[in-house]
């Protein structure tokens, strides 16, 4: 019996609208995604690559249920757009699908220390008590290669690579079924980027983690991923 894919994207399209000639002008439509199809298996690192503006981030927003689209996106056998109608399932979906953004500095509140930021997802999802959340945060810091003492620091005291490790830990602390890394190494220098790629490899091996790795850097995708989809002008041209 064929295993049900963790994530299935079927004929997904998206159109942006724009008024080119002022408020009362004609509305123009721009098709950003055009009948995109792909599947991510359990425990797979799936790469999505292509030039800037090809539709990678728009597809990510569709998968996360943040924007409207045509077509069908399923987490196993449940449609994303149906989940959005049910609050208890929507909360679980948000825990199951976690994202890491390109700019780690912009993802972290500069007014809060790292310990608070690590515990925040657990607090939002009402997981554990105060002591349990603190313990989970310290364990996650170790998991992403940082000492628990980093919990007392703030984002401005960390390097770009350390900030990205914090963002990865914040995403993993809810034990997601799919981790989405959207240009997670493009803002880092070569050394820091290589360390983060190796961290993804370790997490995939140790946690059997499923990852959607989005990058315009095809070399990074080839190094990390089991399978790569190449996007161009809103379409997937090939899967290698």
User: Domain locations in the chain?
Assistant: 7-106+175-239
Look at residue 198 in the predicted model and tell me its pLDDT. 96
Altogether, the residues listed in the chain come to a count of 240
pTM over 0.75: yes
- Which positions of the chain have pLDDT values less than 70? 1-2, 19-26, 81-91
Look at residue 105 in the predicted model and tell me its pLDDT. 86
Look at residue 143 in the predicted model and tell me its pLDDT. 96
On whether the CB atoms of residues 192 and 10 are closer than 8 A, the answer is: no
On whether the CB atoms of residues 72 and 10 are closer than 8 A, the answer is: yes
Alpha carbon distance 148, 228 (integer Å): 35
CATH of 7-106+175-239, one of 3.40.50.300, 3.40.640.10, 3.10.20.30, 3.10.180.10: 3.40.50.300
Across the beta sheet with 210-215, the strand order is: 97-100, 178-182, 210-215, 45-49, 227-232, 235-239
- Pair type for strands 70-75 and 235-239: unpaired
- The share of the chain scoring above pLDDT 70, in percent, equals 91
Look at residue 1 in the predicted model and tell me its pLDDT. 44
């Amino acid at each position: 019996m064929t295993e049900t894919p963790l994530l299935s994207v079927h004929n997904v399209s998206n159109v942006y609208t724009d008024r080119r000639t002022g408020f009362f002008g004609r509305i123009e439509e721009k098709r950003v995604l055009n009948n995109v199809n792909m599947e991510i298996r359990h425990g797979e690192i799936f790469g999505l690559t292509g030039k800037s503006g090809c539709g990678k981030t728009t597809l990510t927003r569709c998968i996360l249920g943040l924007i409207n689209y045509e077509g069908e996106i399923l987490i196993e056998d449940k449609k994303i757009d149906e989940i959005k109608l049910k609050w208890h399932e929507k909360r679980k979906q948000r825990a199951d699908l976690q994202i890491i953004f390109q700019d780690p500095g912009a993802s972290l509140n500069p007014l809060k220390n790292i310990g608070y930021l690590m515990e925040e997802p657990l607090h939002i999802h009402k997981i554990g008590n105060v002591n349990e959340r603190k313990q989970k945060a310290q364990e996650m810091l170790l998991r992403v290669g940082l000492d628990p003492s980093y919990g007392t620091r703030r984002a401005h005291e960390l390097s770009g690579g350390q900030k990205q490790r914090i963002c990865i830990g914040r995403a993993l602390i809810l034990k997601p079924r799919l981790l989405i890394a959207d240009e997670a190494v493009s803002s880092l220098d070569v050394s820091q980027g290589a360390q983060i790629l190796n961290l993804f490899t370790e997490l995939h091996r140790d946690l059997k983690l499923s990852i959607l790795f989005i990058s315009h850097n095809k070399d990074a995708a080839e190094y990390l991923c089991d399978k790569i989809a190449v996007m161009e002008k809103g379409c997937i041209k090939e899967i290698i």
